[in-house]
Amino acid sequence: MDESTPDILAVRAQGLMKTFKGTRGLTKRFPGQCVLRGATIEIARGSALVLQGANGAGKTTLLRILATVVIADAGSAQIDGFDVRREPARVRERIGVAFVNERSIFWRLNAFENLMLFAATRGVPPSQRRQHIEIIGDQLGLNDLMSRRISDLSTGQRQRVILARAALGDPRVLLIDEPLRGLDDVGVEQVLKFLASRLAQGSSALIAAPTVTEFRGQPFSLARLSEGMVEPATWDGRGAA
């Protein structure tokens, strides 16, 4: 596949369906949960889409499918033209992921050691890793925190480390779950600037969030995930675009 083909979308998902199987407890069986019922989204290269949805709407599941860690029951999805199910290795080379889980970083390492580890997994050449991390750290206001253990950071600081990790290796597509969670006003501003600068550099992004007020005014599109389906939306709240 020619990666420079202009009409290939950064993210394309069609009719994604996912039901998580029920579990059996000691005395009763818990029913399965249908999370996605045909979700479809398209994001052009260099664009960002904010996906709004209530808690439990399936935003994270959709992100996980695109990030190759959950397999959909039906439908298809491609990142930069590569199928998430059939070509997961190619997809992983192109995505930067930030899930809502502050335990997803190694708490007994400091921020710099965490980022060095993931710079290696992202394929950043050893000679460039330090500088690469400093540039991203600077954008997210992390450089003064680099020598501190993750366990000693605040929730908002950890969130910025997680976002910095997602940007390592300058991935073509960022898949980010609730990027503003736990951030103070300064942090929110830093992260929004950071996301805009990533778009300006040619990355694309899918951002999931339960509330979207802070994203208003940013160069992002908006969609809503409800009842397992994605519907286009506008920032003025007047329904479908």
Site string for another protein, 159-198 (x = CB under 8 A): ------x---------------------------------
Q: What is the CA radius of gyration of the chain?
A: 18
Q: Are strands 204-209 and 221-226 parallel, antiparallel or unpaired?
A: unpaired
**13, 62, 77, 95: which one binds another protein (CB under 8 A):** 95
92 binds another protein (CB under 8 A): yes
Minimum Å distance from CB 172 to another protein? 12
Tell me the C-alpha to C-alpha distance, in Å, between residue 134 and each of 13, 112, 144, 146, 224.
Answer: 34, 9, 10, 9, 35
DSSP assignment letter at 222: E
89 binds another protein (CB under 8 A): yes
Structure tokens belonging to residue 192: 């929004």
**43, 48, 58, 99: which one binds another protein (CB under 8 A):** 99
**12, 59, 122, 158: which one binds another protein (CB under 8 A):** 122
Asked if residue 173 lies in contact with residue 203, where contact means CB atoms within 8 angstroms, the answer is yes
Neighbouring CB atoms inside 10 A of 217's CB total: 9
| Cα 142 to Cα 125: distance, rounded to the nearest angstrom | 21
126 binds another protein (CB under 8 A): yes
**Under rule CB under 8 A, which residues in 45-74 are in contact with another protein?**
61, 64, 67-71
Closest by CA to 96, choosing from 179, 153, 209, is: 179
121 binds another protein (CB under 8 A): yes
Minimum Å distance from CB 126 to another protein? 7
Relative orientation angle of helices 111-121 and 126-139, to the nearest 10 degrees: 120
Structure tokens belonging to residue 89: 């290795």
21 binds another protein (CB under 8 A): yes
For another protein, give the closer residue by CB, 69 or 186.
Answer: 69
**6, 31, 123, 217: which one binds another protein (CB under 8 A):** 123
Minimum Å distance from CB 237 to another protein? 32
Euclidean distance between the first and the last CA atom of the chain, given in angstroms as a whole number: 32
Residue type, 108: R
**8, 17, 120, 135: which one binds another protein (CB under 8 A):** 120
Q: Note the residues at the interface with another protein (CB under 8 A).
A: 18, 20-21, 61, 64, 67-71, 89, 92-93, 95, 97, 99, 101, 103-106, 108-109, 113, 116-118, 120-123, 126, 165
